[in-house]
Amino acid sequence: MNAFLEVRSVAKAFGGNQVLRDVSLQIAAGEIVGLLGPNGSGKSTLLNVITGFTPADAGEVEFDGTAIERLDAHRIVRTGMARTFQLPSMPSRMSVMEVAMAASTAHHGVWDTWLFTRGARQAEREARDRAEQLLAELLLTPVRDLPASALSGGQKKLLGIVCALMARPRMLLLDEPTAGVHPNLRRDIVTALQRLNAAGMTLVIVEHDMHFIREVCTRCVVLDRGEIVASCRPDALASNERVLQAYLGAAARP
Ligand code: ADP
Ligand code: MG
């Protein structure tokens, strides 16, 4: 496989808690990979390490041929990789539109060449156009002037996706995008993600909902206690012995 993202032998411990052990993973451009595993198996930590929010203790991460394991989150987003968070927290005083606009500034930085070449006004206009387009695509236009903190949990997840997309990423990592989301909104998230993938975006999605996984993902990677125990097609999950063990073991563990 020609890897777009390659994770090699990543390890991470918090105190004495070994959360990731020798995790290696390759993802090709265009894939939609579901990242599964019991609670506490290290899924969010793996996303945090890949996207530069948590430094790994060991291992390498390569994205589109660039070593990124020593870069911080701001630099990584500029290489074309963006993410959403499991529990998005929104500033209480900013409107939905303002949050989307602020994401653009955060991604590009004040001194970015993008600003130099186009000029600040032009850059702001482009960011506003893009924010408006993304808010429309993710069904947030009716609430664009409300405080972001007043959104429902599901709408906050949609706004998290808007913020990530403001960076024009080629790869998007989503941490439980449908958990706690109303079924109607869940369908909209599925549609939005499939449209992004059809337009060329590679996706990694931490997800528990098997229906979602079967419908959306081209491959599944399963973590158990910080180790990858399976990489298979969604329809092969139910008959995978190590996957069953991971979930049954987790249920049996105190
Ligand atoms: P998952 O997303 O699969 O539910 P996490 O990656 O969030 O799992 O957590 C895996 C383990 O790492 C848990 O035991 C959690 O308590 C621990 N952990 C995660 N982040 C931190 C942190 N910042 N400090 C200490 N422990 C952490
Ligand atoms: Mg998590």
The total of other beta-carbon atoms located within 10 Å of residue 14's CB is 10
CA-based nearest residue to 140, from 194, 90, 87, 100: 100
CA of 163 to the centre of ligand 2 (A): 19
Alpha helices in the chain (DSSP H): 43-50, 73-78, 96-108, 113-118, 120-137, 153-165, 183-198, 210-216, 241-252
CA-based nearest residue to 47, from 38, 56, 39: 56
Q: Is pLDDT of 110 > 50?
A: no
CA of 54 to the centre of ligand 2 (A): 14
Nearest ligand to the CA of 43 is 1
Distance (Å, rounded) from C-alpha 158 to C-alpha 126? 21
- Nearest atom in ligand 1 to the alpha carbon of residue 47 is 6
3-state secondary structure of 229: strand
ipTM of the complex: 0.99
Question: For the whole model, what pTM was predicted?
Answer: 0.92
Residue identifier of the C-alpha nearest atom 24 of ligand 1:
14
What Å distances lie between residue 230 and 11, 24, 61, 161, CA to CA? 18, 12, 20, 27
The stretch 171-187 carries a mean pLDDT of 90
Q: Please provide the distance, in angstroms rounded to a whole number, between the alpha carbons at the two ends of the chain.
A: 39
Q: Which residue has the higher pLDDT, 108 or 28?
A: 28
N residues, the chain: 254
Cβ(72)–Cβ(52) below 8 Å: yes
Mutation test residue for ligand 1: of 39, 41, 44, the one with most atoms within 8 Å of CB: 44
CA of 38 to the centre of ligand 1 (A): 12
The pLDDT score that the predictor gives to residue 48 is 97
Residue identifier of the C-alpha nearest atom 5 of ligand 1:
42
The pLDDT score that the predictor gives to residue 68 is 96
Question: Which of 72-90 are b and which e, b meaning 16 or more Cβ less than 10 Å from the residue's Cβ?
Answer: eeeebbbbbbbbbbeebeb
- Nearest atom in ligand 1 to the alpha carbon of residue 226 is 10
Nearest ligand to the CA of 42 is 1
Neighbours of ion ligand 2 (CB under 5 A): 43-44, 86
How does pLDDT run across 95-109, given as a tens digit for each residue? Answer: 999 999 988 866 665
The pLDDT score that the predictor gives to residue 115 is 54
How does pLDDT run across 200-233, given as a tens digit for each residue? Answer: 999 999 999 889 999 999 999 999 999 999 999 9
